[in-house]
Every structure is written in structure tokens, then in C-alpha cells.
């Protein structure tokens, strides 16, 4: 995109309402604008980041064998009465009456709906296991929304739901999701650690949350240095092998890791390689057996003709929250430092002298050759403004085009993460970016 | 996907509630399930179709120079009071009170919100023109939802909003969208014709709706045979040339075309090549000048320092409605006939004898080589059931693997649209599918 004709409204001033780094930087870099308390519009740059994250989440869910579908945002209260959660859920549920005075709600999660769809469609044990996910907007009517997209009211979540014939099958599904999650977070350029968690309103008796390490995170975390050595993308772990999954699960759940809520000082004393830091929850997985399938009457015919009640789990990733969490994990005083995989554009092209023929020729060539992967700062503005905005927006690469170097057919290539700069030909710059 | 472990619940019986072909076929082919009146869950096959359509719409919007963003589903009533539409909109607007008793609503359209975002962000004439779009779920609380996704309550719409300095600029933006729309519909495999339309609750004084020709469409349409000759994808029309756009606009708006609501029998009498048919509205574009920018106080500084009030237009495509409309335009007694560009899978692989080693080997090879683009019917079911389901689901190609041909290393390849069949090697089949 050409910045002069784009809706990328960067701000010099720090908005007063933003208390944490990611909120400040998302507003200043023109990623989002608040439209009501805790509700955000994703402007073009922010939307590109959100789509990049969504696509990585999707690919790793698909790789695990999960099927994507899409459930609607508006649900009937009736379904939630069947599970007993309608009255239990409290004021965070956005309750709605339609024109016929029917009780509806904006879904905060989808255990009831997916169980209903599954019980209408699936009859036989032969059709299990299945894992179904969607990436859909949810609403949680927070009493005091804050921290930008980290604790907003309308938020994007990936939620998956597994159906297995028995506990043993459900454990395999649970472990598959743990592997998919670790691969997802690794591709997103952040370090995540699973920690045993409370099950909260979802229920069940096995649960882990995934905590991203970030210096400005919301929770204090304690973990074993062994986590630094685990590579979930190594070929050692296959989704098709229950043995691999068991080994992966053991690798990830044996070393000590806890948030301050669950911190066990006695166990901590025995950890050889103690690490402490701050963390942000970005995912949460649950096994809850027949908590929904039981009361909602989901059964399938078993091999012997008897009916079975499937065992279920659910698996969430806070997709819009991840945008904030990644920024908390990766920024400096000048702005965001996007991991390459999620950056809105791979590179910014900074024309330091609009109107200079050599500068414009190189910029246009770079823009064409980067084919949609560059933001071209073609504004009639001072170089200092362009440098500051490029650092603020956090493009992994900056192609800086000044008149002197341009006349010699060269550009300055800057790597945002390290600050490294080099004067090179445009072709060399593009080769490094690709 | 392997059909045995997939949520693709085809139905033999026609659901009683479905009155039109697309609704019946979407239920029978397992594309959607209703979760509340006029609200649907998109099951895996339906979701793939919806994503394919979304992606084509997106690519053509991007090609026209529009920028994608995403506005939230829940809006504040306050904004709609500024435009005067809050009270005017009537009971189709889903009105909501949050936990603090603030008046909110589920957006049926976004003129107010985009105008608000734009007025916060854009200051100078230099930043215009811009066209911003999103593809987001909307809600329209229909008193009597029916016809499946064709007249649902929660529906997916692409809506774009253009901002220009003056009327002349706005006309160019309007024509760009007309070109983008015609290219979109052509890629979707349907024939669309723009027809002059009423502006309704959006307002303004220039408006066209885009009608897809479909034998079972909702409206009677009358049009000049000249439309059959127009190729919007020809290289003759560039988004960057106002002259090209003017010529394209004239080509599309000069020949007679009207729905029965607007039919002019006197003008019709003069049409040499009269065509009649049925049609379905799938898009609607509007120019409405300063109807929103005026009352909402959106201004930019002009070149002479004086403030200007931008001229706006809005441009909608009913993305979820298109799934139904394409089926209305392309089906037969046996089921759906997907255009290649939107089909959930390019091909189905039908194993006519599960357990036969030669059949399984060829099926597995086909499934692997088609790499996510095939639905493999590996169910333990009769051949007749598989034939019927494949025709019902409308895959463009069927790879039929029976034991006799498989033993000779061959498959039967069927083209759904024509019924043509040929016994060929698997490699030949895959070459034709690609």
C-alpha cells in the first residue's frame, strides 16, 4: 500500500487511556481504533496482522486433523438452559431479546452449540473421533474493559471441540491440541509454556493454559529452564502416533511451570534451572468428559449396538488477544518489533526525498517487486517522521531510499529487530528480505 | 478430508421447511444447519464454499485499490443518532442493552461507523480518495426469516465505503466498484447484470443492484441480449483509467435491464434482442454524496485551506447469500453443480469397494496427490449411496474407483456439469482436474 492514500493513522502522542505497552503501540501505530468501550475496529495494518495470525492458527489446526466450520455469533438461550449454564453464566454474557421477544445471546463460547450440531448429525462410533473448530468473534461483557484488545468485549477466538469414544481417545485429542498449540506459538515467533490451570466455567478435570513469556506480561511465572530446549516442530512428534503424543505431553508437562496463582514453593525448591519472568495467557485447553454430552443427550451407537456418550474437550486460542501479547513480547522504546510471520508488511519503503527522480524510480521498483508485501511511505513528510513511523510500526525490514545512495543505485537496508544497517543494491536488499 | 470422519451430514430426505432449491440442497448436502430462526452454522463443506467466495470478493476489491479492514459487529446507538438513522431503522435492527444499560446494536450496515473512523483519522485532501471495505457478519432481525441463507438474520456481507473530494471523484469510485463487481461475479461462475435500483434506507441518488440470472430466482427480469457479449475481465478496462471506467460504465448501463419492479414496457418495446428470465439480487451499490459526511461533520482541509466535505458511496455484496444464489443458478434434479472456483473440493474420490486392496491403493494415492483438494468417500456404504451423495454435493469432478478398473490401474473420471465419463489412468484424471 501507498501510505499517502491509506488509512494508517499513526499518532505521535501516547493516548492517555492506554495503560500498557501493547495498547499504546496499537493505537499509536494505527492498528486499531476503539469504537465503544472494549470494542475495536481493526484498521488495515491491524487487520493484516490479525489475518496472518488467524492463518497460522488455521494451518496448525488443520495439520492436527481438526475440521474448520463456522458457528454464528448469536445463539438461542434455550441451548444454554439444556446445559444449565444460562443462569450460571452471570452478567458477562450479553443477553438479547429479538423482535419476537425470544431470548438470545452473543456467544462467549460454543460448547452447547457444537454439541447440539454433533448430536443432530452423528450416529455411529465409526464417525469418531472428530475435532471441529471455528475462528469467530465472541462477546464477553466485561464490567471494566481495559488493556486494549487484551481484555476487550468483542474478541476473536479460535475454539475447537473434540469428540471421542472414551477417555483414552480424549486424552489423545487433548495431546494433539497441545502439540498443535506449541507449533502455532512457535510459528508466531513467541515462546509459550503450558501450565496446569483451573477449569473455571468450562468445567472438567484436566486443563492447561498457554502462557507467552513477555517482559510486561500480566502474571509472574516460574518455570524450569528445560522448556528452552523443547522444539515442537521437530520431526520427532507425529499427530498420527499416540506414542509420540504421549512422549511430547510428558516432555511438556514434567518440568516445573506455574503462574503465581498456582506457584508451589516446595516443588520450586527442587528445580535445578530456575527461571522467572512475566507471562500472558493466550490459550486454554480443557478435557471435560461428558459434562455437555451427558445432559444434552449426545450419544452414538457403539460397536456392540449399545449407546455411548462421547467424551469431549475444548481448546481455545485468543486470536485478537495474541496481537497484543506478541507486541508485549516484542517491542522497544521506539515501537513494535513484529516477528516476520505476523508483520502486516515484510518491509517499509522510505522515500526520503519525494520528487527526486532517482529516489522515486528505486522506490517504485521496490514497491512493484515486493508485490503487495511492502508499505510504501510516499508521503510528503520529513525523513525523521518516516524513520519514526517505520520503527513505531515495526516492519521487519526498512528499505531507506535517500538521494545520494539512490543516484548510485543503492539503498539502505535496516533490520528492525537488531538495528543493523547496510548499504546495498536493491536486488540484494530484496534477496535478503525474501 | 475423509468422509468417514467428517462432519458432512448429507440427508436423503428433503427437509419439510425448505421451500426453494438452494435451501433444500444446502441442508441435504450438509453445508449448513439452522441453529435458530434465520441463523445458520456453516458446516465444513459449506464453510469451504463461503471462504472461496470470500477470497474471490477480497481479491477483486484489492485489485480495485480498496483497503480491507474489519469493523466490529456490535455498535453504539450513539453513532446512529448522529446520522438520524437510529429511530428511523425500525424493528429489523437488533437492539441491545449492555450490563451498564448502554444502548448498543448489532450492525446491519456500517456507514456511520466508517464515517466516524474516517473523521478521526483523515485531515487533508491529499489523503483522498480512499475506499475501505470489510467482510463481516451483519444482523437484520427479519420478521419472518426464510429461504435459508438467502433471507437469513445473521448474514455475511462485504461492504465498501468510498471517500472522494467531489462528485466527479465519487463517480470514478462508483464505476471502479461496478467493474470490480462484474469481475467478481464472473469469477464466481455466474452471470450478473447491473440494474438501476431504488436507494432505500441507505439513501442517495444513484444506485444499481446486481442481479444473478437463475431459473429459480426471486424476481422476473428483462434485459437486452447485449449483456451476453460483455467481458469485464478483458484487458480493455483498467481501474487506473477514468476513460476506461467511463466506457465500461456506459457499456453496462446503456442496454435495457430491469426487474419487474422497475420494468418500463415502453422502453422494452424498443429492445431488439429481448431476453427474460429470473434473477436474484446479490449486490447493491450507492452514491449518496454528503448524506453521512455532512451531518456527522466529516471534513478535510482542501488545497486552498478551506474545508471540504467528502462525497461518499457504499457498495455491498451479500457473501452468504451468494452461496444460495449460485446454487439456484447451478443445480439439477440430482443436486448442486458447483462452479470450479467455489466448490468445497475440486473432486470427490469414490471408493466403490472398501477393503479391496487395489481400490484402496488408488484412492489413497489420489487423495495424497490431490493434497487437501479432494473429499475421499471412504465410508463402508453401497456404491449407489456414494454416487448419489457425490452428485448431491456437486463436486466438479468425481474419481470413481471400482475393483475391475482399479486392478487394471484405471479410474472412471466423471465431470458433474456435463455427466461426461471416461476410464483413464489416475495420472490422466489428475491432469484433467488440475
Per-residue pLDDT for B294 more than 90? Answer: yes
Shortest alpha-carbon distance between residue B70 and chain A (Å):
5
Query: In terms of C-beta density within 10 A (0-12 exposed, 13-18 middle, 19 or more buried), how is residue B347 classed?
Result: buried
Contacts of residue A143 in chain B, CB cutoff 8 Å? 99
State the average pLDDT over residues B164-173.
97
CB contact under 8 A, B68 and A50: no
Strand partners, B220: B278
CB contact under 8 A, A96 and B98: no
- Comparing C-alpha atoms, which of B376, B409, B195 is closest to residue B284? B195
State the average pLDDT over residues B296-320.
97
Confidence of residue A198 (pLDDT cuts 50, 70, 90): confident
Classified as helix, coil or strand, A394 is coil
Question: How far is it, in rounded angstroms, from Cα A140 to Cα A154?
Answer: 7
Q: How many residues comprise chain B?
A: 434
Angle at Cα B231 formed by Cα B225 and Cα B233, nearest 5°? 160
Question: How far is it, in rounded angstroms, from Cα A157 to Cα A173?
Answer: 19
* Cα dihedral A29, A34, A40, A44 sign: negative
Question: How far is it, in rounded angstroms, from Cα A402 to Cα A387?
Answer: 12
Strand partners, B39: B36
Give the rounded percent of residues in chain B with a pLDDT score beyond 90: 91
| Three-state secondary structure readout of B208-231 | EEEEEECCCCCEEEEEEHHHHHCC
Q: Mean pLDDT, chain A, as a whole number?
A: 95
pLDDT tens, A134-177? 999 999 999 999 999 999 999 999 999 999 999 999 999 999 99
pLDDT tens, A285-305? 999 999 999 999 999 999 999
Instruction: List, as one string, the DSSP characters of A284-333.
Output: EEEEEETTTTTTTT--EE-TTS-EE--EEEEEEEEHHHHHHHHHHHSEET
Contacts of residue B74 in chain A, CB cutoff 8 Å? 36, 39, 94, 106, 139, 153-154
Q: Do A320 and A50 form a contact (C-beta atoms < 8 A)?
A: yes
Give the rounded percent of residues in chain B with a pLDDT score beyond 70: 99
Q: Mean pLDDT, chain B, as a whole number?
A: 95
Q: Do A212 and A53 form a contact (C-beta atoms < 8 A)?
A: no
Q: Do A206 and A293 form a contact (C-beta atoms < 8 A)?
A: no
Measured between CA atoms, the residue of chain B closest to residue A39 is: B72
Q: Do A372 and B65 form a contact (C-beta atoms < 8 A)?
A: no
Angle at Cα A186 formed by Cα A181 and Cα A191, nearest 5°? 95
State the average pLDDT over residues B113-128.
97
Q: Residue B82: what are its φ and ψ, rounded to 5°?
A: -65, -35
Query: Which overall architecture, per CATH, does domain A3-336 show?
Result: 2-Layer Sandwich (3.30)
Distances (CA, A) of B353 to B47, B345, B350: 29, 22, 9
**Order of strands, edge to edge, in the sheet holding B74-76?**
B74-76, B103-106, B94-97
Per the structure block, which three cell numbers stand in for A42? 481493526
Instruction: List, as one string, the DSSP characters of A118-172.
Output: HHHH--BGGG--EEEEEEEEEE---SS-BTGGGB-SEEEEEEEEEEESSHHHHHH
What is the H or E stretch that residue A380 is in?
Answer: none
CB contact under 8 A, B5 and A130: yes
ipTM of the complex model:
0.96
State the average pLDDT over residues A229-254.
91
Strand partners, A132: A67, A161
Distances (CA, A) of A189 to A214, A221, A432: 12, 19, 19
pLDDT tens, A5-59? 999 999 999 888 899 999 999 999 999 999 999 999 999 999 999 999 999 999 9
Q: Where are the domains of chain B?
A: 3-336, 347-433
CB contact under 8 A, A96 and B96: yes
- Comparing C-alpha atoms, which of A59, A69, A164, A63 is closest to residue B30? A69
Q: Residue B384: what are its φ and ψ, rounded to 5°?
A: -60, -40
Classified as helix, coil or strand, A27 is helix
CB contact under 8 A, A67 and B130: no
Contacts of residue A44 in chain B, CB cutoff 8 Å? 67-69, 132
Per-residue pLDDT for B432 more than 90? Answer: yes
Contacts of residue A164 in chain B, CB cutoff 8 Å? none
Confidence of residue A202 (pLDDT cuts 50, 70, 90): low
* Cα dihedral A69, B73, A152, A394 sign: positive
Question: How far is it, in rounded angstroms, from Cα B85 to Cα A129?
Answer: 49
Per the structure block, which three cell numbers stand in for A122? 452423528
User: Which region holds residue A380: left if phi is over 0, alpha if psi is between -120 and 50, else beta?
Assistant: beta
CATH code of B347-433, in short, is: 3.40.50.800
CB contact under 8 A, A44 and B67: yes
Measured between CA atoms, the residue of chain B closest to residue A118 is: B7
- Comparing C-alpha atoms, which of A56, A136, A66 is closest to residue A313? A66
Instruction: Give the model's pLDDT for residue A9.
Output: 97
Instruction: Give the model's pLDDT for residue B345.
Output: 98
Amino acid at each position: 500500500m501507498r501510505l499517502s492514500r491509506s488509512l494508517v493513522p499513526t499518532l505521535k502522542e501516547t493516548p492517555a487511556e492506554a495503560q500498557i505497552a501493547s495498547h499504546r503501540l496499537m493505537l499509536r501505530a494505527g492498528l486499531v481504533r476503539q469504537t465503544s468501550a472494549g470494542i475495536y475496529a481493526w484498521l488495515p495494518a491491524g487487520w493484516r496482522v490479525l489475518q496472518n495470525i488467524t492463518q497460522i492458527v488455521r494451518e496448525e489446526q488443520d495439520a492436527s486433523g481438526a475440521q474448520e466450520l463456522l458457528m454464528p455469533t448469536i445463539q438461542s438461550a434455550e441451548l444454554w438452559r439444556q446445559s444449565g449454564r444460562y443462569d450460571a453464566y452471570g452478567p458477562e454474557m450479553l443477553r438479547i431479546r429479538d423482535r419476537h421477544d425470544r431470548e438470545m445471546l452473543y456467544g462467549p463460547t460454543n460448547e452447547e452449540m457444537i454439541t447440539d450440531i454433533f448430536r443432530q448429525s452423528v450416529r455411529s462410533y465409526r464417525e469418531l473421533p472428530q475435532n471441529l473448530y471455528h475462528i469467530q468473534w465472541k462477546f464477553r461483557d466485561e464490567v471494566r474493559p481495559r488493556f486494549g484488545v487484551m481484555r476487550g468485549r468483542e474478541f476473536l477466538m479460535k475454539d475447537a471441540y473434540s469428540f471421542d469414544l472414551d477417555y483414552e481417545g480424549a486424552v489423545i485429542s487433548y495431546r494433539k491440541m497441545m502439540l498443535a498449540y506449541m507449533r502455532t506459538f512457535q510459528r508466531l515467533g513467541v515462546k509459550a509454556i503450558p501450565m496446569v490451570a483451573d477449569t473455571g466455567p468450562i468445567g472438567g478435570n484436566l486443563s492447561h493454559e498457554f502462557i507467552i513469556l513477555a517482559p510486561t506480561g500480566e502474571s509472574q511465572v516460574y518455570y524450569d529452564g528445560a522448556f528452552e530446549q523443547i522444539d515442537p516442530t521437530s520431526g520427532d512428534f507425529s499427530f498420527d502416533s499416540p506414542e509420540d503424543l504421549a512422549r511430547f505431553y510428558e516432555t511438556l508437562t514434567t518440568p516445573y511451570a506455574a503462574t503465581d496463582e498456582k506457584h508451589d514453593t516446595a516443588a520450586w525448591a527442587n528445580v535445578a534451572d530456575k527461571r522467572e519472568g512475566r507471562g500472558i495467557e493466550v490459550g486454554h485447553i480443557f478435557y471435560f468428559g461428558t459434562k455437555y454430552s451427558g445432559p444434552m443427550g449426545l450419544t452414538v451407537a457403539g460397536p456392540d449396538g449399545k449407546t455411548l456418550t462421547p467424551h469431549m474437550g475444548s481448546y481455545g486460542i485468543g486470536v485478537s488477544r495474541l496481537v497484543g501479547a506478541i507486541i508485549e513480547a516484542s517491542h522497544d522504546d521506539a515501537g513494535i518489533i513484529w516477528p516476520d510471520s505476523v508483520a502486516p508488511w515484510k518491509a517499509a519503503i522510505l522515500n526520503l526525498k519525494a520528487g527526486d527522480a532517482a529516489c522515486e524510480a528505486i522506490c517504485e521498483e521496490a514497491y512493484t517487486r515486493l508485490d503487495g508485501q511492502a508499505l510504501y511511505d510516499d508521503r510528503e513528510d520529513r525523513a525523521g517522521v518516516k524513520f519514526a513511523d517505520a520503527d513505531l510500526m515495526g516492519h521487519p525490514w526498512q528499505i531507506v531510499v535517500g538521494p545520494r545512495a539512490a543516484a548510485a543505485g543503492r539503498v539502505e537496508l535496516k533490520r528492525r529487530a537488531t538495528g543493523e544497517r547496510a548499504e546495498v543494491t536493491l536486488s540484494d536488499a530484496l534477496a535478503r528480505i525474501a
